[in-house]
A and B are shown apart, each in its own frame.
Chain A
Amino acid sequence: ILNVEQSPQSLHVQEGDSTNFTCSFPSSNFYALHWYRWETAKSPEALFVMTLNGDEKKKGRISATLNTKEGYSYLYIKGSQPEDSATYLCAFIPPRGSTLGRLYFGRGTQLTVWP
């Protein structure tokens, strides 16, 4: 069983604060990592797909980094806004084989941004 851990479990910040959370995954067996943003009652939406050690991706105020050697990825949100409130899920994909593109999800970090 592959273990993907996310921390913190939940986070409450004020509008304008910057924040970051962590996804840890097995470092010995890596193919890709996905970050998803999931608002209540909506579909999880792909934010980033990361495949290379040292990858840095950015979309507006949100960015992510990847360290495959030590098995972690960070998601950063600069100047949080109330509309950033959502659950942020990371999903690990090991190399192909019997897993066939299966996503191993963490439990998510639930972010609440107060105005």
Chain B
Amino acid sequence: ETGVTQSPTHLIKTRGQQVTLRCSSQSGHNTVSWYQQALGQGPQFIFQYYREEENGRGNFPPRFSGLQFPNYSSELNVNALELDDSALYLCASSLLDSHVYGYTFGSGTRLTVV
């Protein structure tokens, strides 16, 4: 059983640039969710992907977008980066409707926008 792997672990970008973060889901899981944790806050839901389609979205602007691939891995893309996008981005994989089993998280990507 593999865990969830996120890459890169850290990166620094300049305001206005674009960034892609990657997440491999745990073997057997078909759903990936992305969360943003800003300093001093709890993780906030960005969106969820199930079988390559967006399956729910939090209160984030359209410049946050994502993809899920046939192997259930996922990408989070952020365009036109702003300073407030600096945060830890967490990816979690699960089976859809598996709220009773807990989610498997990666260790996150720390994004700094300067």
A interface list, Cβ under 8 A from B: 4, 6, 31-32, 34, 36, 41-46, 49, 51, 89, 93, 96, 98-108
Among B42, B56, B96, B100, point to the contact of A89 (Cβ < 8 A). B42
Main secondary structure of the interface of B (DSSP, over half): loop
A-side interface mostly: loop
Contact A44 B56 (CB under 8 A): no
Q: 8 Å CB contacts to A: which residues of B74-114?
A: 90, 92, 94, 96-108
> Which of these, A41, A51, A99, A105, contacts B43 with CB under 8 Å?
A105
Whole-angstrom distance between the Cβ of A81 and the nearest chain B Cβ? 22
A98 to B54, CA, bound (A): 12
Q: Tell me, in angstroms, the Cα distance from A100 to B99 when the chains sit together.
A: 10
Number of B residues near A (Cβ < 8 Å) is: 31
Closest B residue to A38 using CB positions: B105
B residues near A (Cβ < 8 Å) are: 3-4, 31, 33, 35, 40-45, 48, 55-56, 58, 90, 92, 94, 96-108
Q: Which residue of the partner chain, among B4, B44, B96, contacts A43 with CB atoms under 8 Å?
A: B4
Is B105 in contact with A43, judged by CB distance below 8 angstroms?
yes
Q: What number of residue pairs across chains A and B have CB atoms under 8 A from each other?
A: 71
B33-A102 in contact (CB<8A): yes
**Contacting pair A107 B3 (CB below 8 A):** no
CA distance A48 to B4 in the complex (A): 19
A43 pairs with B3, CB closer than 8 A: yes
Distance in Å: Cβ of A107 to nearest Cβ of chain B: 5
26 A-B pairs (CB sep. < 8 Å): A4-B42, A6-B42, A32-B99, A34-B102, A34-B103, A36-B102, A41-B107, A42-B107, A43-B3, A43-B106, A43-B108, A45-B105, A49-B99, A49-B101, A89-B42, A93-B99, A98-B56, A99-B56, A101-B56, A101-B94, A101-B99, A102-B56, A105-B42, A106-B42, A107-B40, A107-B41
